[in-house]
Amino acid sequence: MKEDYLHYIWKFKKFNFLDLKTSQGLPVIVKHVGWHNEDKSGPDFFDARIQIDHQLWAGNVEIHFKASDWFAHHHHTDKAYDNVILHVVWEEDMPVYRSDGSSIPSLCMKHYVNRESLAHYQELSRQKKFINCENLLPDFSTFIIHSWQEKLYVRRLEQKTEYIQLLLKNTKNDWEKVLFILFAKGFGLNVNGSSFQEMAAKIPFNLVRKTQEVQVLEALFMGVCRLLESEKEDVYYQKLQKEFTFLRHKYQLESITNPLAFFRLRPPNFPTIRLAQLAYLYQDSANFFNLLIEKPDIQLWRDFLTDIKTSPYWETHYNFDVKSKSSVKKLSSSFIDLLIINVLVPFSFSYHKARGKEVIDDLFSVMSTLKAEENSSVKKFKQLKPEMVQNAWQSQSLLSLYQDYCKKQKCLNCQIGVSLLNK
């Protein structure tokens, strides 16, 4: 039994409240359970209204698993708890007192809790291979799940908006620079995303904005990413190195903190290739910003990103000095989907929201056309309930569900968990 379950049943009155009695045998009528204090400082519920033995009391309610926890938490010496009018517990193992020595009536909840609700809670609390509700989820209402997933995805977009607002603050409200940072992080994927983002943040965007030569942008990006620091016989490498030396001195450029990773990456994901593609994307940055953000348009976004490739040198190289079989290195369909999911959709949501324009329905339409992402947690959800994983916004919602609720055992804050307890 966890204390948060007692918070849940008290807050939502999930107990038999028609014939309550204190541990001392006095009748109790709960007029108002109080306001839940989620700050973790002070009593658990403020401003409750409790009638005890025909006397109406106004004050606070404190909740513990065992009554003796009152003393373990030193509430008996803390004047902040002197206004507690009822001590709600699961096990009444001893009486408790305020700092002035006056006794506090207690209510032992184990006698009043709905047994079916308790059984569901105990089922949720058992150790599982993946998530607490994995045995109950397959037969659970798809309608409730989808409703919760929609809320989770909107909340995820709002969280990304907070991050974008921070980037705006750091870039003096330069939306184009923020999009550049987001694209850079997206091109770096999980392995090099943070380093690519650091690179984009260090580069003056006016320099990117006015540069229309892909070779200069490659030199700029790869130089800041510390890929041009050694000596090589490769002629193209030497050209980029020379160009970056000029740019570094002219614009006082700083390099990223840590070197990029190549290890365990497939050649198409090598940072050299992704930076070359990013440079190709930004050789005409003056025109594509307005094109991309005017309105969420999946076909326009796909068509635009499908045209991105590299300069000719990289058609025969994955890294400097090492020649490979010739191939045009365009963005794959799956990589384009990732950029739409992680860059264009959240950026569009934030950009239009800042201008008072609601585009959430358009974004749901965009995400509904994209396949669900595949990672270990999403695959496990799909095995339990395939209806949860039909498109990209659903898979995004499951990432939030797993990270923010399932892993943290926050079943009582989850709409699915609460609904299961109410069955």
Assign residue 47 a region (left: φ > 0; alpha: ψ between -120 and 50; beta: otherwise).
Answer: left
Q: Residue 4: its pLDDT value, please?
A: 86
What are 20-53's pLDDT values in tens digits? 999 999 999 999 999 999 877 899 999 999 999 9
Q: Residue 127: its pLDDT value, please?
A: 64
Pair 74, 45: CB distance under 8 Å: no
Block means of pLDDT (10 residues each) for the chain, 423 residues, are 86 89 95 89 94 96 96 94 96 94 95 83 76 92 97 98 97 97 97 97 96 97 98 97 98 95 94 98 85 90 96 98 96 97 98 95 97 94 96 98 93 92 77
Q: How many other CB atoms are there within 10 angstroms of residue 201's CB atom?
A: 18
Q: Residue 221: its pLDDT value, please?
A: 99
Pair 5, 61: CB distance under 8 Å: no
Question: In 3-state terms, what secondary structure has residue 2?
Answer: coil
Question: In 3-state terms, what secondary structure has residue 146?
Answer: helix
Report helix angle 298-306 to 285-293, nearest 10.
160
Assign residue 15 a region (left: φ > 0; alpha: ψ between -120 and 50; beta: otherwise).
Answer: beta
Beta-bridge mates of residue 322:
319
- Separation CA 190–CA 300 (nearest Å): 26
Q: Residue 409: its pLDDT value, please?
A: 87
Q: Per the confidence metrics, is the pTM higher than 0.85?
A: no
Q: What does the block give as tokens for 128?
A: 């599982």
Backbone torsions φ then ψ of 421, nearest 5 degrees = -70, -25
Q: Residue 268: its pLDDT value, please?
A: 96
Pair 42, 79: CB distance under 8 Å: no
CA 285-290-295 angle, 5° bins:
140
- Separation CA 286–CA 210 (nearest Å): 8
Pair 228, 241: CB distance under 8 Å: yes
C-alpha distances (whole Å) from 282 to each of 184, 192, 296 are 11, 19, 20
Q: What does the block give as tokens for 262?
A: 């190549």
Pair 149, 401: CB distance under 8 Å: yes
Q: Residue 116: its pLDDT value, please?
A: 79
- Separation CA 389–CA 16 (nearest Å): 38
Of the candidates 293, 226, 221, 297, which has an alpha carbon nearest to the alpha carbon of residue 261?
226
Q: How far is CA 331 from the centre of its chain?
A: 26
Q: What does the block give as tokens for 175?
A: 């939306």
The domain locations on the chain are: 3-113, 129-170+344-423, 173-331
Q: What does the block give as tokens for 409?
A: 């055992």
Per-residue burial over 297-334, b = 16 or more CB atoms within 10 Å of its CB, e = otherwise: bbeebeebbeebbbbebbeebbbbeeeeeeeebbbeee
Question: In 3-state terms, what secondary structure has residue 409?
Answer: coil
